[in-house]
A and B are shown apart, each in its own frame.
Chain A
Amino acid sequence: MSNSKTKPSWAKRLRTAALYIVLFSVVAFVVDAFRNSDVPESVPAELSSLTDINGEQYNLREMSKDSPVVLYFWATWCPVCPAVSPTVDYIGNHYPTISVALRSGDNDKLTRYAQAKGYEFPIVNDNLNRVSNGWQVSATPTIIIIENGDIVSATTGVTTPPGLFIRLWFHQFF
């Protein structure tokens, strides 16, 4: 029995590694399956620079060189979005995150809405759908992950915090 004490630990490690590989393959597959084919391959040049409701400027291409960037399309009129926004807000503590609000009213309304809901992510007001049209995004909530100026993942619908984290990790390390 004394021999078997060291052996399982190796087997265990191998098994764990295999498990991770399978897990990540599944995640990658699912991400690919969900990938929105309409979304461009890389950040559109004219849309790389975005200005949020506080006048802050963001350059997606520059930002995504250091770490994956999360671009979140949402709207105040979307009943599903409140289920996803807190996740994105939380992710914002760990990865650069920018949100685009589709046709959701003026800056003042958006500021108060975000305050009331406690959202801290920067908000780009897209009241005329200029940004979302450029990105070919028509449905909310949509989460796009950008890395080195390339769009590596685009999912529409409900996302859970672990789901989003796994996607980000996957794209950061693989």
Chain B
Amino acid sequence: MNKILPLWLLSLIAALLLYSAQSLAETPSTGWLSHEDHPPVSVKLELTGHYEAERNLLPALLHVELDEGWKTYWRSPGEGGIPPTFDWSESSNINDIEWRWPVPSRYSIQGIDTVGYQGSLTFPLMIQLSPDARQAQISGTLTMSSCTTVCVLTDYPIDLHVDLDTLTVDSDRAFAFNPAMGKVPREYDSNNVKQAIWSDANQRVQLTIERDSGWQEPQLFIHSNNEALADAEFSSPNIQVEGNTLTANIDVSHWLDLPDLSGAELIATVSDEKFAAEYKIELTAGTIANNAPPLWGILLMALAGGLILNIMPCVLPVLGLKVQSLMLSGAHEPKVVRKQFFASSLGIISSFLIIALGLMALRWSGGSVGWGIQFQNPYFIAALVAITWVFALNLMGAFEFKLPSSLSTSAATAGDNSYKGHFLQGMLATVLATPCTAPFLGTAVAFALAAESSVILLIFTALGVGMALPWLLIAVFPKTAKLLPKPGRWMQWVKPVFAIMMLATTVWLTTLLKNFISNELFLVLTVGLSVLTLVIIGKVHGRKALFLSIGGFLVLAAVVGTTLILTADRWVNKLPQDHQWQPLTQQRIDEAVASGQTVFVDVTADWCVTCQANKVGVLLQDPVFTALGQKHVTRLRGDWTKANENITQYLKANNTFGVPFNKVYGPGAPDGITLPVVLSKDNVMDALEDAREQ
């Protein structure tokens, strides 16, 4: 027998050995697991194949796939929820399994705040083997909770065998481990936490955290490993950012008795754009200064804000309606006048309450809220077009205002019918005149939208009372109505004027619809409405009146047109072509400021008349127009005509909920200078100057 094996046999043995090693080599995975009773959720636990010998660690990935609408929870799940857990007690040679939790999001289910995840997510797990173990069995039950409007707790059996001798790295999973860990917050120096106060009186935690590079739109989540605090609920924090300092107020509650939190250790997870950090916190007992203004102060502001709404440019579309209701009421007895004006006031206040209820419903369903957002809805605008058109036709005498027939017969003689009319006019005037913010109003609305439902209703009532104040005054002192012009034949001539003002409002609202419908549809709508209006005038007042009004309109158009053309050189120069504006994003602001630019932010909407007044009256006028055109100025515009989540977020971050909103940033003012609602040349120029200077 030959002592040396032939070469071919050697290579065969080598190949076989290599093959068997390859076939034994493995990277354990459970594959996708799903429960037959609950298909919307599937999970998969797999090892990456790496082994960190020093600490006996096996990095693993737990993938979770949730169908649309389903959510699962973070380690502190908020009110109600329950985090996923892995009971690995049936395992052998396993020392510990440590979960790493990616930064979660906040969700509102049926008005209840929860913290968790949706879609597909990956939890990195660190599995620690017993010292000196070469083999291990990972066995147990993974329990996942998942909720939509129903909640399900599902168990998944896990069984993985690990053999370090055959364990091989799976390059895809090893790669996937890194982005998964990237979503897990890193522990940061707790020296950045300047204050961590527990106020027993307020049942509130206040945290002050600094970050060198400042905060953008930080989110904060609280967790406690303390068993006694397992069922404590940390509310969605109220966060305020001032430069590099973040101050968060978190209400703490417990369905049973809340233990004393002084000395308690918490973990605060803070996420921001491209930033996720964990801070260890030890609470110290203390008092929290109440920065928020008292409720009576806010109510006073709401009253003032409502009153000022009456003289904002936004009231322009309903000016006719308002003046009409004033002028045409001089005819009646003080008693009747009182009731009429009371009806108008009630209409105004009801409108505010309806808006408040709408916003509450929207907030409750998890939608984003804001002041004037009803104008972002084409159906709302369409309804207003119809209503204002009917009002205009009514003023033209096309028909008398009729209410549900059961009321009208008895009411007509008593004059009650007209009270209903006044009520409706009050409502309409409010709905039309409230898309823009006003001084004081912004603060009051911002406070209201962050408060509980009863406070929202209270503040909106105050806004309504504020706006109705002039009407209420006359209602209380009906004799003042005598100061109004006496009725007479002139009223017949004034009525068409009001009708035309109302029609102008219809036209304005119709142009707003243009943002939502196709050009063809818009054309059909405009022509259709115009023809219909003319036909109705013709029917009611006869052909003569029809031709008169068409003729009158043509003459008026000719006169106005000629005047405009003749005087063109006087005003054309004053309204130059607007500059090019870039769409508003927080990133653009940051980049421009970082490169030394001055940034002018203009958040506007087509339906916001005050915004148009600011534009025509200030932004397009010199010296502001030239100043904005300079090379060192970056112009960013946020168009809120249609709902836009980014812009809503930006407004919210600036503690406001409506337009117009203008802010100037620059090296001299990295946090920005907020401009007043009604712009003036001086305050824009001053802000631009201040923001530029370092």
* Contact present for B151 and A139 (CB under 8 Å): yes
Assess the A80–B109 pair: CB atoms within 8 A.
Answer: yes
> Smallest Cβ distance from A75 to chain B, in angstroms?
7
- Is B685 among interface residues, defined by CB-CB distance under 8 A? no
Closest to A142 in B: B150
Given A116-B255, A158-B110, check contact A80 B149 (CB 8 Å): yes
A82 contacts partner chain B, Cβ-Cβ < 8 Å: yes
Return the CB mask of A93-104 against B: 1 if under 8 Å, else 0: 000000000110
Beyond A77-B77, A79-B109, A81-B80, 5 additional contacts (C-beta under 8 Å) are A78-B151, A80-B112, A80-B150, A102-B153, A141-B151
- Among residues 120 to 156 in chain A, which have CB atoms less than 8 Å away from a CB atom of chain B? 138-142, 156
> In the complex, which residues of chain B have a beta carbon less than 8 angstroms from the beta carbon of A81?
80, 151
B256 at the interface (CB under 8 A from A): yes
| A113: contacting residue among B77, B78, B154, B255, CB under 8 A | B255
Residues A75 and B151 in contact, CB atoms below 8 Å apart: yes
Contacts of A38 in B (CB 8 A): 37
Q: How long is the Cα–Cα vector from A79 to B114 in the complex, in angstroms?
A: 8
B interface residues (Cβ-Cβ under 8 A, vs A): 37-38, 77-82, 109-112, 114, 145, 147, 149-154, 255-256
Chain B residues with CB under 8 A of A138? 37-38, 152-154
Q: Which residue of A lies closest to B152 (CB)?
A: A139
State which of B109, B150, B255 has its C-beta within 8 Å of the C-beta of A139: B150
Whole-angstrom CA separation of A77 from B112 in the bound complex: 13
Let me know if A78 and B80 touch, CB within 8 A.
yes
Contact residues in A for B37 (Cβ distance below 8 Å): 38, 138
| Complex Cα spacing A116 to B233, Å | 14
Q: How far is the CB of A163 from chain B (nearest CB, A)?
A: 13
User: Does A83 interact with chain B (Cβ within 8 Å)?
Assistant: yes
In the assembly, what is the distance between CA of A113 and CA of B80, in Å? 12
Question: Chain A residues near B79 (CB, 8 Å)?
Answer: 79, 82
Q: Does A7 contact B (CB under 8 A)?
A: no
* 10 interchain residue pairs of minimum CB distance: A79-B80, A77-B82, A78-B151, A139-B150, A83-B110, A116-B255, A139-B152, A157-B149, A138-B37, A79-B112
Of B80, B81, B151, B255, most buried by chain A (CB within 10 Å of CB) is B151
Chain A residues closer than 8 Å to B149, beta-carbon distance: 80, 157-158
Please provide the chain A residues from 58 to 90 with a CB less than 8 Å away from any CB of chain B in the complex.
Answer: 75-83
Rounded to whole angstroms, the CA-CA distance of A112 and B254 in the bound complex is: 12
Contact of A117 with B by CB under 8 A: yes
State A158–B151 Cα separation when bound (angstroms): 11
CA distance A170 to B109 in the complex (A): 30
Docked pose: A153 CA to B151 CA in angstroms: 19
Give the docked Cα–Cα distance between A158 and B148 (Å).
Answer: 10
CB closest residue in chain B, given A78: B151
Nearest B-chain residue to A138, judged by Cβ: B37
Contact B255 A80 (CB under 8 A): no
Closest Cβ neighbor of B110 among chain A residues? A83
Known contacts: A83-B110, A113-B255. The answer to whether A77 contacts B80 by CB under 8 A is yes
Chain B min CB distance to A40 (Å) = 15
Point out the residues of chain A lying under 8 angstroms from B77, CB to CB: 77, 79
Given known A-B contacts A116-B255, A140-B152, A80 and B147 have beta carbons under 8 A apart: yes
A/B interface sample: 21 pairs, CB < 8 A: A38-B37, A75-B153, A76-B80, A77-B82, A77-B153, A78-B81, A78-B147, A78-B151, A79-B77, A79-B79, A79-B109, A79-B110, A79-B151, A80-B147, A103-B153, A113-B255, A117-B255, A138-B153, A139-B150, A139-B151, A158-B149
Cβ–Cβ < 8 Å partners of A117 in chain B:
255
CB distance from A37 to the nearest CB of B (A): 12
- Contacting residues, chain B, for A80 (C-beta < 8 A): 80, 109-110, 112, 147, 149-151
Q: When the two chains form their complex, are residues B150 and A77 in contact, meaning their CB atoms are under 8 A apart? A: no
Question: A116 to chain B: which residues have CB within 8 Å?
Answer: 255-256
- Expressed in whole angstroms, the minimum distance between the Cβ of A111 and any Cβ of chain B is 11
Q: Are B152 and A77 in contact (CB under 8 A)?
A: no
Chain A's closest residue to B107 (CB) is A79
User: What's the nearest-Cβ distance from chain B to residue A104, in Å?
Assistant: 9
| Complex contact A77–B81 (CB within 8 A) | yes
Q: Compute how far the CA of A138 lies from the CA of B82 in the bound complex, rounded to whole angstroms.
A: 15
Residue of B nearest to A83 (CB): B110
